[in-house]
Amino acid sequence: MNKQDRKIKKVVIAGGGTAGWMAAAAFSKLIGKHLEVVLIESDDIPTVGVGEATIPTLHIFHQLLGINEQEFMAATNATFKLGIAFENWRDVKQDYLHSFGFLGQGCWAAGFQHFWLKGKQRGIASELGDYVPEHLGARQGRFAVQQGQELNHAYHLDAGLYAKYLRNLAAKYGGKRLEGKISKVNLDDESGFIDSLTLASGEVVDGDLFIDCTGFRGLLIEEALHTGYDDWSHLLPCDSAIAVQTKTVSAPIPYTRAIARDAGWQWRIPLQNRTGNGLVFCSKYLSDDEATQILLNNIDGERLNEPRVIKFKTGQRRKYWNKNCIAMGLSSGFIEPLESTGIHLFQRAIVRLLQMFPSQGINKSDVEEYNAQTKEEAENIKDFIILHYHLTERADTPFWRYCKNMDVPDSLKHRMKLFKESGQVFKKDEELFGETSWIQVMMGQGLMPEQYHPIVDMMEDDELKRFLDTISGAVKKRVQSWPDHNDFIKRYCPSTVSTLGK
């Protein structure tokens, strides 16, 4: 029997970290009854583990796995996240907030931004974020989880502790962990499929389906199967990051800070008892030593570890699923963490594979559909990230001049032109970022529409004012019912983590 025709009875996950343990937990709990799930990882190989911010789609994954929010947050030192503050991106000392949630209320013909644009022209509208509860909550440092509310919040979490939490969940449902380094990937001579993995100890682990979570190296998908990589460095030129953790010196805020620097940007992610810091930069304009100094000059609190340099290349694998191997996590590609999409892409890869799981054997149509969907999703996110760099008024450094003047994909050019000329934003079904996100970032970066939809003129000014005031009043009332973010965390999910810096 050909390898590709074999029923899938054993899934082998190569590598741990966030992606590996998310996959192990999901497969073990959701389809593990008649499936053997084995994860191989080595304590000697550190995970990248700097991605500590998520987006609201994580709720879908947690609901599938029956994860209790309070328990998970306490175990991962987590805080709530309502959005990302972009500082110095439009220009130096010009800031805006991209929040989660939904913007105001539109009508059948036009989104809320059209009503707001006329209101702004007439002097009867306040700032855009006043019409989004999560935006106002982030600015006021308030949040609470209330019964029946839409799940428009996300988390800041310790990625290492999250992997540990999921590891325990996987074990509960029969997922097995093997300690060891993979020394060789053994291919089937006839089909070219992966037959087994040889560990440094000499142990051979066979399997039917292999998940590559070996990080940037892509031990299975690239080194063994030579899948190829599409490089996006010309569009997303940052290729390095430096990460360091510090003790918390103030109450955690309910949003991530993304602070643009001369040749990249700095993140600040507040957990319950420490802060994650990092600098994403382009090595063409900044050395590792210079970047480290910039980061260390712009952190608060005592350092908990030594700064760590991480090198990467933005892009994607030419096939996410090749033969009987599926790349997940950093082995599948990398879109820098500007909008915290990393864990989302891990989870989408897992759920998509579960939806088209090849239990009776691998067929070409499943593989092609999986690759097409995954590629389209990644390229939509890529456009959204490029937007932040390209749509800028900054021209103060060589890095920002390059970003401002670079040629961007036609799909992004079209979105920007459409919004500028008509105020229109359209979301395709499978896209991650919706109208509210595109509107907040485009306006935040300085792109304002030249006109609004004519249906807005059906409202007289006093009627439009009442409409706008009703929405902002409801947002204000809702946010006033939320307690202080830090006070709520102390009551709802106080950290059970005993050691700082873990």
Residue among 213, 157, 200, 154 nearest 26 (CA): 213
Query: Can you give the C-alpha Rg of the chain in angstroms?
Result: 23
SS3 447: coil
- Is residue 311 annotated as a catalytic residue, yes or no? no
Complete DSSP assignment for 36-105: EEEEEE-TTS-------B--TTHHHHHHHHT--HHHHHHHTT-EEE-EEEEEEEEETTEEEEEESS--S-
Interatomic CA distance for residues 247 and 243, integer angstroms: 14
Interatomic CA distance for residues 254 and 269, integer angstroms: 9
Amino acid at 484: D
Residue among 181, 208, 206, 158 nearest 3 (CA): 208
Active-site entry in 3, 29, 81, 323: 81
Helix axes 364-390, 342-355, angle to 10 degrees: 160
φ and ψ at 477, to 5 degrees? -65, -40
Interatomic CA distance for residues 270 and 257, integer angstroms: 9
Interatomic CA distance for residues 146 and 295, integer angstroms: 37
Residue among 180, 179, 211 nearest 194 (CA): 211
Give the residue numbers annotated as catalytic, written as ranges: 81
